[in-house]
Structure 1
Amino acid sequence: MKKTFDEIRENIPVTGDTVAAIMRQPVVLPPDFRVNEAIERIRQVGLPDTQMNNCYVVGEEYTLLGLVSLRALLVTRGGVRLKDAMAHPFITLQPEDDQELAAQLMQEYDLLELPVVDGDNRLVGVVTADDAMEVLQEEATEDMERMAAMMPSEAPYLERPVVWVFLSRIPWLLLLMISATFTGGIIAHFEDALAAQVALTAFIPMLMDTGGNCGSQSSVTVIRGLSLGELSFSSWPRVLWKELRTGALCALALAAVNYLRLLVFSGVGQGVAATVSLTLAVTVVLADLIGCSLPILARRLGFDPAVMASPFITTLVDAVSLLTYFRLASWLLGL
C-alpha cells in the first residue's frame, strides 16, 4: 500500500543535532501538474512557512524528481507541465546529516533551501536559510563558550541556574589550575638561575601572555576554517607553512620593539635584553605552530577543535615559553 507523506516522515529518527531535528514540511506537487494548476494548489493550501521559496516535484512514494521556485512559477507560461519547468537539485541532505553540514552547504553554494531525502531518495523535508542561521548562531555560541573553557549551554544566560553555571566552569578551572603545576615545576627547577639574575623574573608574565595571545590568534583562525569547511587534515602542511611565516614576521617585529624598549626604558643590560627578546621571538613562532596544529589534530581524532583552544594551548605555550626562556638564559648569560 502506498505510504502517505506523514507515514514516511514518522520512520525518520529525530536525534541530537541532525538535520531531521530542524527540517520543515515542503510543498510537494506531481510532475504532470501544469504551472497554472500548481499556482492554484499553492493558493488553496498555502505555504507551510514564509521562509520557503521552492516547491518540490515528486513521483511515486514521494521520490524527489526536481524543484521549481515560486519565481519560476510566476514567469513560466501556465500551460507548461512541471516536469518540463523543474530544475534538478544538485545537492541534497540526509536526515542523519549534521545540522552544521547543512549550514555550510547553504553558505558555500549560496542556497536558500536544501531538500532532505532518505536512502530511497524520497523527499522527507526541507531545510531553509532561516534554519541555517539559527544553527550557525548556536554553533558560534558553543565554540565561544568552549574556547573560554566552559561547557556549552543552549539556555540564555539569565535563565541558567547559578549552580549550572558553576558546574559548567569548574571542571575547566580545575584542569587549568592543575596544569599550572607544570609551569610552576619549570620555574622551581630553574630557581638557581633566577637567583643569579633576578631581573629575569620580571619578564616571565610578558613572555607567557604574549605566547598565549599568539597561540589563541592562530587557533581561532584555524577553528573558523575548520568550521566553514575551508580546512581539513590534509591542509595541515600548508597551514603550518603559512603560520610559520606569519609567526616569523610577528616574532621579528615584537622582538625588535621589545629589545629597544628594554634598553631604553628598563635599564637592563644588553645580555638580559637579548635573552628576553630572543625568547619572545622563539615563543611567538612556536605558539603560532601549536595554536594551528592542535585544532586540526583534534578534528582528526574526532574531538571538537574548540575544546583545544583554551586549556591545552595555554598550558603548552606557557611551558614552551618558560623552557625556552631559561635555556636561552643559561646559554647566553652563563647561568
Structure 2
Amino acid sequence: MMNNQMQYEARPLVRAEDLVAQIMWRDPVVLPPKFRINEAIERVRQVGLPNEKMNHCYVVDEDCTLLGQLSLRELLLTRGGKRVEDVMERPFVTLQPSDDQELAAQMMQEYDLLELPVVDEHNRLVGVVTADDAMEVLQEEATEDMERMAAMVPSERPYLESPVRRIFLDRIPWLLLLMLSAAFTGGIIAHFEDALAAQVALTAFIPMLMDTGGNCGSQSSVTVIRGLSLGQVGFSDWLRVLWKETRISALCAAALAAVNFLRLLVMSHVGMGIALTVSLTLAVTVITSDLIGSALPIIAKRLGFDPAVMASPLITTVVDATSLLTYFWLASWLLGL
C-alpha cells in the first residue's frame, strides 16, 4: 500500500474543518472475504449504498481491517460461485481521517479515482471519500486562493449574502498593510529625487517598469502555486524551479528589453543613455521579479502558510521596490547622476 506522503505534502497546519474526517462517508458497504459473489450481491441489496455516487464495496476481516475493494460492475459481471477474495483488488492508496481534504482531491485527480478508502492507523476501514466530495473541496480551495491572491480574507458566505461590514473587515487589513508597504516605494523615489530632477525623462518610465515587473512576478507565482496545489512541486524541488524560471525569465527579459530599446530610440526620441538604462533595468526587473514570484510561494509552503497569500499583492510590493532600486542604481552609473 502506497505511503501517501511520498507523493504529496499535506499542509503542516490543517484546520479541523479541512480534515478528511469531515467529508468522508462513514458507512460504506463491507463484505467478508469468504463471501461468494451471489451472497455479496444479496448483501448490497439488503443494506444499499449510503451514497448514490459510490460504486465500490470494501472487503474487510473480522477486525474491519481493509483487505481489498470490489466495484459494483465487477460484482455483477462475476460468476456467482466465486469468492470475493478471489476477485477483489488490493487498494494501492488510502487516506487517513487526519489528512487534508485537499490531499484527497489531489490523489483522486492524480490516479483518476472515483473513491478513496479512509483507514485509521491500524488500517481499519473507517470511511470513504467520493469524487463529488473531492471536487467540492477543489472548488472551495480555488475560491479561497483567488480571494487571498486579491489580498482578501476568504469568505465562507455567498457574496450577495455577506454583510457590507463583513466584507469591509475582510478587505481593510490587507489594504492597510499594502498601503503602508507602498510608503517604502515612495521613500525610494524621494531618496533619488535629485537624480530625477537631473533627468526628468526617467520619471516617465517608472510605471512601465513597475507594471512589467509585477506582471512577471504574478505569472511565475501562479504557475508555482498551481504546481504546489496539485502536488507537482514540493520544497525539495526549489532548486529545479528556480533554475527553470531563470532560463524562462532570461528569454523573456531579452525579448522585452530588445523591443523596448528599439521603441525608445525610434518612437520616444530619447538619448542612447536613457534607452539603454531603461532597457537594462527592464531586463533585470523581469528576471528578479520572476525569481521572487516563484520563490515566495515555495517558502510560504515550507513555513506552513498558504502559498496564495504570497501571490500578487505581496509580490508586487517587493518587486516594485526592487525595480526602483535597480533603475536608479543603473541610471546613476550609466548617466553619471
Tell me which interval the TM-score lies in, with the shorter structure as reference length.
over 0.9
Q: Secondary structure at the match of 1:299?
A: helix
List per-residue Cα deviations over 1:180-201 (Å, max 9, x = no partner).
Answer: 0110010000000000000100
Could you tell me how far apart the structure 1 residues matched to 2:197 and 2:182 are?
21
Q: Confirm or deny: 8 A CA contact 2:235 2:302 kept in the other structure.
A: yes
List per-residue Cα deviations over 1:226-265 (Å, max 9, x = no partner).
Answer: 1111111111111111111100110111111111111222
**CA shift for structure 1 position 110:** 1.2
Could you tell me how far apart the structure 2 residues matched to 1:69 and 1:242 are?
43
**CA shift for structure 1 position 60:** 1.3
1:1-335 residue pairs with structure 2 within 5 A?
Answer: 15-24=16-25, 25-335=27-337
Could you tell me how far apart the structure 1 residues matched to 2:312 and 2:258 are?
28
Q: Confirm or deny: 8 A CA contact 1:263 1:270 kept in the other structure.
A: yes
> What letter is aligned with 1:67?
Q
Unaligned residue ranges in structure 1 (runs of 5+) = 1-13
List per-residue Cα deviations over 1:83-123 (Å, max 9, x = no partner).
Answer: 22211111111101100111111111111110001122221
Q: Confirm or deny: 8 A CA contact 2:30 2:60 kept in the other structure.
A: yes
Q: Secondary structure at the match of 1:73?
A: helix
Structure 1 stretch displaced more, 230-239 or 152-161 = 152-161
List per-residue Cα deviations over 1:118-141 (Å, max 9, x = no partner).
Answer: 122221110011111111111111
**CA shift for structure 1 position 315:** 1.4
Identity of matched residues, %: 79
TM-score (norm. length: structure 1): 0.94
> What letter is aligned with 1:20?
A
**CA shift for structure 1 position 311:** 2.9
Q: Confirm or deny: 8 A CA contact 2:214 2:312 kept in the other structure.
A: no
Indicate the RMSD between aligned Cα atoms, in angstroms. Answer: 1.1
Could you tell me how far apart the structure 2 residues matched to 1:132 and 1:306 are?
20
Q: Secondary structure at the match of 1:324?
A: helix
> What letter is aligned with 1:62?
C
Structure 1 stretch displaced more, 292-301 or 309-318 = 309-318
Q: Confirm or deny: 8 A CA contact 1:175 1:311 kept in the other structure.
A: no
> What letter is aligned with 2:195?
A
Structure 1 stretch displaced more, 15-24 or 36-45 = 36-45
> What letter is aligned with 1:169?
R
Could you tell me how far apart the structure 2 residues matched to 1:268 and 1:120 are?
73
> What letter is aligned with 1:78?
G
List per-residue Cα deviations over 1:144-179 (Å, max 9, x = no partner).
Answer: 111111111222211111111111111110111000
Could you tell me how far apart the structure 1 residues matched to 2:295 and 2:259 are?
28
**CA shift for structure 1 position 65:** 1.5
TM-score (norm. length: structure 2): 0.93
Q: Secondary structure at the match of 1:61?
A: coil
Could you tell me how far apart the structure 2 residues matched to 1:321 and 1:63 are?
59
Unaligned residue ranges in structure 2 (runs of 5+) = 1-14
> How many pairs does the alignment contain?
322
**CA shift for structure 1 position 266:** 1.4
Could you tell me how far apart the structure 2 residues matched to 1:178 and 1:250 are?
31
Could you tell me how far apart the structure 1 residues matched to 2:85 and 2:235 are?
42
**CA shift for structure 1 position 29:** 1.6
Could you tell me how far apart the structure 1 residues matched to 2:249 and 2:16 are?
43
Could you tell me how far apart the structure 1 residues matched to 2:156 and 2:82 are?
48
